[in-house]
Chain A
């Protein structure tokens, strides 16, 4: 987390949105729009669609701010989960539509990604998740990152890693169990 993120009061901003204060929504936009768009773009890979989703996410933040409960987690985390789940719903619904079209078409674009386990910025290792990910075998670590960051389905991960679908499903399940064990 950067200094800027530490000093921005996400919780107060959501509370102001819940009271209908428009400048609060704008300040959240100025603070997070670029990073949120980065997350969405990596998930859906189409700039216009990613902007549509960011638009929808900000509307949902505006109308849903009053339902945010600080006891359930961080305000910044809530904002990201609103945006991510909009994108994931889109991806999974689309996947259902094009079943049978073959995952190859979906994977036409090579991600401008992080080399797994190598290029990750050292500061990120401060986060416990990275320490725990590092304890997983590389293929299993890749499953988690491709799913969370790239929005890949089991089938897409299997295709990407050249592993059988059943194996990938088991890797995902076991990696999540291991992460839970490691992170508490």
Chain B
């Protein structure tokens, strides 16, 4: 047997890629794979190979003509993608200073929640805290707790209302990043744990937000829907 640890790791990676493409990975692992893909060449290669292997199985389904309204709807959405920058404030939301001035009140909420979270902690590692507030009334809706720089927890303070055909999508953007990166879909009222090991380390003022998107998330990979909750990371000593 020449199965060394390297072969084991390769087999594991290949098994993960295979079940990702096959579709049997549970939601959490699927999200993890999708986060790793842009940065993990070995995983990407394994996934690509499985896509090619299994793709002929799509021929087992019968074609189904779309309704006549679908193409015009797609065209309309493509138009919207191109006109949006002109129809909303010309700076993207993450550079929207007015919003940030208004969010100063959230600082108080952060202090309060922080006090609660720190109680009973005997080994305070350097950590970050974010309170996500609703942009309209600044009411806090979620807290993000990061006790190390690799994992964050998104903790609900209540149950957000989400329309049946929509989903909340979680995003983050550091100061020097080109745009926000998706951290996955969020279920109202449920704590979400997100590994950040494929992103740069957390930093002060890093932006987090939840937007309302279609039920399978933003079609473009960038936020397209209205902001529901938003906040910046505060370093906690």
**A residues near B, CB below 8 A?**
22, 25-26, 29, 33-35, 37-39, 41-42, 47, 50-60, 62-64, 72-74, 77-78, 80-81, 84-93, 95-97, 112, 114, 120-121, 124, 127-130, 144-145, 147-149, 151-154, 157, 172-173, 176-177, 179-180, 183
Contacts and interface: CB of A to CB of B under 8 A. Distances in A.
Contact of A148 (B34, B54, B65): B54
Interface class of chain A by DSSP:
helix
A96 B216 contact: no
Contact of A51 (B27, B60, B66): B66
Interface string B13-31: 0110011011111110010
Contacts of B15: 173, 176-177
Contacts of B219: 55-57, 59-60, 63, 86
Given A59-B219, A86-B216, A151 B65 contact: no
A26 B51 CA distance: 24
Given A34-B63, A89-B217, A180-B14, A127 B30 contact: no
Contacts of A176: 15, 18-19, 22
Interface class of chain B by DSSP:
helix
B26 A180 contact: no
B70 A54 contact: yes
A92 B70 contact: no
A147 B55 contact: no
Contacts of A145: 57, 60
A90 B216 contact: yes
